[in-house]
Chains A and B, each alone.
Chain A
Amino acid sequence: AQRVTQPEKLLSVFKGAPVELKCNYSYSGSPELFWYVQYSRQRLQLLLRHISRESIKGFTADLNKGETSFHLKKPFAQEEDSAMYYCALSGFSGNQFYFGTGTSLTVIP
């Protein structure tokens, strides 16, 4: 079955500390992986997608097909990174989407 798992519902880190939000997936095929973010009182928005291989707001994510993971990382957390983060997966044809349950990140000043 297709599934996206985010094992941490809540994550707190101190400002300046490294942060890693975990995401594991199960999919029979070649998926496309995404991270979406929702800041307080804002709508859900795309943070990054694995095919772009870019760093957005200092965040990176590497697709590890062997471990079926797509963890989101940032070396130095900032207070403005506090938000809800969702890992998501789509099929190659882009007509099926699966979201994880989300991780609420709090960066402590």
Chain B
Amino acid sequence: ETGVTQSPTHLIKTRGQQVTLRCSSQSGHNTVSWYQQALGQGPQFIFQYYREEENGRGNFPPRFSGLQFPNYSSELNVNALELDDSALYLCASSYDRDQPQHFGDGTRLSIL
């Protein structure tokens, strides 16, 4: 399936490490949101980037940060990893902030 792609698919890290997850949006999508989905839960909104600026943020600490690039790619960075950070991380992009979001398959992050 084309559209939004995320890498890597799976990742294993240890407590205290740092991780960067990547997302490639569809061309023309100027808005990207990141979500954390723990097992058995719905996606939790981390933050949204609009035209390379953070545009909204959920209830996540500052060690969760992001970047959005002009080529429609984006990153989610997490510092000082904790066991509770183990989850599926989803990226979703859209043509604009009020347009439907298109999700990627996610990156499964496991913290040991």
Contact B48 A95, beta carbon cutoff 8 Å: yes
A-B contact count (CB 8 A): 52
> Which residues of A are found within 8 Å of B45, using beta-carbon distances?
96-99
Contact B48 A44, beta carbon cutoff 8 Å: no
Interchain nearest-CB distance for A22 vs B (Å) = 14
> Which residues of A are found within 8 Å of B50, using beta-carbon distances?
95
A86: nearest chain-B partner, CB-CB: B42
Q: Does A31 contact B (CB under 8 A)?
A: no
Question: With A and B bound together, what is the CA distance between A100 and B35 in angstroms?
Answer: 13
Given contacts A44-B90, A95-B55, A97-B33, contact A49 B100 (CB under 8 A): yes
Please encode chain A, from 39 to 80, with 1 for each CB lying within 8 Å of some chain B CB and 0 for all others. Answer: 000111110010000000000000000000000000000000
Question: Which listed residue, B1, B44, B48, B56, touches A99 by the CB 8 Å rule?
Answer: B44
Q: Does B58 contact A (CB under 8 A)?
A: yes
B6: nearest chain-A partner, CB-CB: A43
> Within residues 25 to 46 of chain B, which ones have a CB less than 8 A from any CB in chain A?
33, 35, 40-45
Interchain nearest-CB distance for A50 vs B (Å) = 12
> Which residues of B are found within 8 Å of A97, using beta-carbon distances?
33, 35, 43, 45, 48, 58
Contact B97 A95, beta carbon cutoff 8 Å: yes
Contact B42 A101, beta carbon cutoff 8 Å: yes
Contact A95 B103, beta carbon cutoff 8 Å: no
Contact B97 A94, beta carbon cutoff 8 Å: yes
Most chain A beta carbons < 10 A, residue from B1, B50, B103: B103
> Within residues 90 to 108 of chain B, which ones have a CB less than 8 A from any CB in chain A?
90, 92, 97-98, 100-106
> Which residues of B are found within 8 Å of A44, using beta-carbon distances?
43, 90, 92, 103
Interchain nearest-CB distance for B66 vs A (Å) = 13
B residues sitting closer than 8 Å to A (CB atoms) are 1, 33, 35, 40-45, 48, 50, 55-56, 58, 90, 92, 97-98, 100-106
7 closest residue pairs by CB, A with B: A95-B56, A99-B42, A94-B97, A44-B103, A97-B45, A94-B98, A46-B100
A residues sitting closer than 8 Å to B (CB atoms) are 4, 6, 32, 42-46, 49, 86, 88, 93-102
